[in-house]
A and B are shown apart, each in its own frame.
Chain A
Amino acid sequence: MTTFQLEKHVNYIKSLDKKTDFDSVVMEHLRMSGAYWGLTALDLMHSLNDMNGEEIAAWILKCQHDCGGFGGNIGHDPHILYTLSAVQILALFNKLHILDADKIARYISGLQREDGSFAGDEWGEIDTRFTYTAVLCLSLLKRLDSINVEKAADFIVRCRNFDGGFGCTPGAESHAGQIFCCVAALAILGALHHVDRDLLGWWLCERQVKAGGLNGRPEKLPDVCYSWWVLSSLVIIDRAHWINKEKLRDFILNCQDQERGGISDAPDDAVDVFHTFFGVGGLSLLEYPGLKSIDPAYALPVDVVDRVFYGQKN
């Protein structure tokens, strides 16, 4: 069996920060999310201490705008997605106290619409991803009371489809990434009773192809990132035992770059930090030895979530 190349993955992620090639330059707008993926993967591999938390926190604060929201990088407009990534990174480094939680909560609650949905930013695009982002962010900041949580859950329920899955808006096709957002948000809101677990579990299990990998929608090819989105959803609704975990583990392991580290979307493709995080996250949910446990809803190491809510030390 292929083994997990922990050390190489750690080195791969650490090397990313220094890259200045053109492909890295055109990814500048989502550097905050890139940092979250990389740093969380490092923490799951017990290597976060190698990173300079002070420096990273200072950079994060430079990305914050007067409105309270964070941009994907310095000089980029604020967006709810990057606001969550910023909060998640600071949670990793145990530095949530440097944030003005009320200010961020005002920014997020200002994005909630009358129907309970959330816009991603001032330009009004609606998506259930933004609902997840809002709920998760406010939960980590202990400010869930600043939004209308009933309406937020109601909106998610309106995005539920006949197949048990969820889409990005009411009537939109079911998609494993959107399902993760909806199910995780409902879990945090204590509203999982809205989910038909058997029906959704069935749809999610049908994402596993014969080769073992998971796809995100019917007829699509398997992709490592769905190892996270599908599997975390299955864990949240307690149906993970319905899939073949061994085959999924082998699929993820086969997507590693055995020489230079990093994980790709499918075997023999080019690696990137996004798929490296979701691959490591998936293996963590599969309880792969040597990795920290990851929380399926918060997408952070369990010990980090525990520290946020119960103040436990590492």
Chain B
Amino acid sequence: MDGSEDDNATRGRILLADLDLIFINDPLIDELGYVHPSQLVSLHSDGAASKSPFSEKTPRSSFIPSDSSNSGDEPHAGADCPRKSEHRVGLMEELDGISFDEGQVQNAVLYDRTAFWSAEHKLAISVPALAPLYKSAREAFTLGSAEYKNLYKAEEATFSNASGALEADNQHHGNGSLMLNKDKRALEDSLMTCTRALVLVNCDHATAWNMRKRLVSKRANDWDFLVAELRLAGVVLSCAHKSEETWAHRRWVILQMINNGLSRMKLDVILENESKLVESVAERSPMNYRAWRHRCWLVAQMSFLQIAIELHRTKLWASFHVSDNCCFHYRRTLLTQLLQPKVPGKAESREVAATADEKEMDMRGLRVALFDGFETRALWQEEVDWTKKLINRYLGREALWLHLRFLFYYWMLHIKRAVSCSQRVSLSGGNEVSEEIDRKCESKSTFLSADTEREFVSVCIAACNSNLTEEANKQRELAASYKLWVLMKGLKQQKEESLPEDTSLSIPVSDERESTRMLLNDVAPHRSHLWEGIISGVSIPQF
């Protein structure tokens, strides 16, 4: 090992210790960014930034030190993470060229200002510091997890022995007795420190997250500990919006909370915070599948009241993000969950960790406060009207048309029969909305049928007929394919209900099929193979 490798290893250990100090000093850090060294300098010279310093992210790969020395042969590196600033200064002195101005950091935590910046619960790491930090954390983790395995071998029979870990065990056999005498908590703290550094640099390091899960399991009764774990996952997600392992870790932590029997009230708060987190991530990371999947997962844990609030809350967001199909999918999840008790055969038990009494209250809360009052039909009509309004306003948005496809499909095949005007309970208060609904119900006009939708398609196409922009072309294509959707779903419903005649179809199916075929080939000839394929598969029922 030459001198520069030695220096790098020492620097890595210092950085690891510094990162720990930063988190000890401010356990409420909630945002992370990797920055260019010049950005770090300006952050330090500006003092505490008034806004997030991470508006311009520096990609991790943009500034990589040329020397990525192999650290495998450095013995015992990082086995003990120094936890006090004196240790850190001691290590610091091993390095040349890094001066330490005590006066500069009088009221602040002592850390390497060429590597980190932290203020107002934000943390910035200089890109060139990532490699030595990661390397050092990795070494500490390898040694620490080997020690951990030795200590808990009997306790955790399922903990497997990778051959790599076995080698590490043999290598450090001489330390065996020392390891046994070591304070377990100190080892666990050290593992928490190095795994935190690992996931901050490499968000998908599943083995590091797993070690945290093992350690957190041991203190799962400590609410603050679980909350801190959620916070760390939040820090990672602020930088790595799509990290699958991190989202999964959040779910695992929440399940630990639920298994420990947290109250409905606390769960509601957690779920609301999770939902807000997804919203803020979605703002910066459009159509983020993993984030929205997390939000959909929350729905199964939510009370009906919460679901209704979510439905209300996401409406405005969706209308500002009309191409984000994830949000519309989320609304579909909410809508179907709200209606679940009314759709036969869909009443699955909810996973909410609540007492039987709480569950009962939950159900009654739904029926009294929301569901019966709102009425399914009004709920659906509102969603359809809103979607159509957006379709008219924003041309060629696939997500909107897909949402309309869903609304039509679900209405025709799942709820139309379950809901009828006679079953309707009028809205309490008798306001204008309920009068409007009464009027529509009484007039017996169906608000969503093959006829209304064909009409809507014609109007949409006519409205942008002279518009030759890309958006208008797409709008015509989506409108035409919605027409095909309506035709196919209408036929499917007919088939499933074995109706001799579909009263909602005012023109013969064969004519409808031909006009749809012509329209599709006219507005979207580049998909002619698809249209021919699907339409040739549309069989006309024989009566």
Contact = CB atoms under 8 A, between A and B. Distances in A.
A and B associate: yes
A41 B405 CA distance: 39
A142 interface: no
A305 B6 CA distance: 49
Given A26-B201, A66-B161, A218-B398, A123 B210 contact: yes
B160 A79 contact: no
B64 A22 contact: yes
A26 B200 CA distance: 11
B162 A71 contact: yes
B537 interface: yes
Given A22-B64, A242-B529, A217 B289 contact: yes
A162 B161 CA distance: 45
Interface in B386-408: 397-399, 402, 405-406
**In this complex, which of B168, B207, B481 has the most chain A Cβ atoms within 10 angstroms of its Cβ?**
B207
Contact of B325 (A22, A72, A167, A173): A173
B206 A29 contact: yes
Interface stretch (B175-183, B229-237, B290-298, B457-465): B290-298
Contacts of A22: 60-61, 64-65, 68, 130-131, 134
Contact of B205 (A29, A172, A199, A242): A29
Contacts of B336: 171
B130 A77 contact: no
Contact of A65 (B161, B255, B289, B296): B161
A69 B159 CA distance: 12
B70 A20 contact: yes
B4 interface: no
Contact of A66 (B68, B160, B332, B333): B160
Contact of B534 (A202, A219, A241): A202
Interface in B493-543: 526-527, 529-530, 533-534, 537
Interface in A129-184: 162-163, 167-169, 171-173, 175
Interface in B150-180: 158, 160-165, 168
Interface in B207-234: 207, 210, 213
B529 A67 contact: no
13 contacts: A20-B68, A22-B60, A22-B134, A29-B202, A124-B252, A162-B410, A171-B336, A173-B293, A175-B289, A219-B325, A220-B287, A241-B533, A243-B530
Bin chain B's interface residue count.
Answer: 35 or more
Nearest to B533: A242
B292 A173 contact: yes
Interface residues of A, number: 55
Nearest to A29: B205
A21 interface: yes
Given A173-B289, A173-B326, A74 B164 contact: yes
A74 B167 CA distance: 11
B432 to A, nearest CB: 33
A125 interface: yes
Interface of B: 60-61, 64-65, 68, 70, 130-131, 134-135, 142, 158, 160-165, 168, 201-202, 204-207, 210, 213, 248, 251-252, 255, 287, 289, 292-293, 296-297, 299, 323-326, 329, 332-333, 336, 397-399, 402, 405-406, 409-410, 481, 488, 526-527, 529-530, 533-534, 537
A76 interface: yes
Contacts of B255: 124
Contacts of B534: 198, 201-202
A263 interface: no
B164 A62 contact: yes
A190 interface: no
Contact of A63 (B161, B162, B201, B297): B162
B527 A219 contact: no
Ranked 10 nearest A-B pairs via Cβ: A65-B160, A75-B164, A74-B164, A173-B329, A218-B398, A26-B202, A219-B323, A205-B530, A77-B207, A242-B530
A163 B207 contact: no
A282 B299 CA distance: 37
Given A169-B297, A243-B530, A71 B207 contact: yes
Contacts of B402: 163, 218
A78 interface: yes
Given A23-B60, A123-B252, 16 more contacts: A26-B134, A26-B201, A30-B204, A61-B163, A65-B161, A66-B160, A67-B158, A71-B162, A79-B206, A121-B210, A169-B293, A199-B488, A201-B533, A218-B402, A219-B323, A241-B529
